[in-house]
Amino acid sequence: KAKSAVDPRFCLKMRMKIIGILLEKIYISSDTYVQRSRILITKGEEYRELGIESLDECIQCLCDAILLLVSFIFNDALPLLFSPL
């Protein structure tokens, strides 16, 4: 994530567009919890860079990432832990 001196707003806009594509078209299946959570965290970091006016969006992205991981733990990982050998 290198900073660009050319036009930082354009770079931010393009990064957010790429993040949107990843979330909407690539990491959509139920087995991509971790990847989707990482992208949501990155999206939250991008919002944080925009300043205090984007703090709500930043927090929402982080909450979504946490909920995805909690959902994975309670829906997918727990049956594996308690399955018979």
pLDDT, tens digit, 9 for 90 and up, residues 49-65: 888 999 999 999 999 99
Alpha helices for 1-85 (secondary structure H): 8-21, 33-49, 55-72, 78-81
pLDDT tens-digit profile of 8-60? 788 889 999 999 999 999 998 878 889 999 999 999 999 998 889 999 999 99
Neighbours of 12 (CB within 10 A): 16
pLDDT at 69 over 70: yes
Q: How many alpha carbons fall within 13 Å on the CB side of residue 4?
A: 11
What mean pLDDT, rounded, does the chain reach? 84
Percentage with pLDDT > 70 across the chain: 82
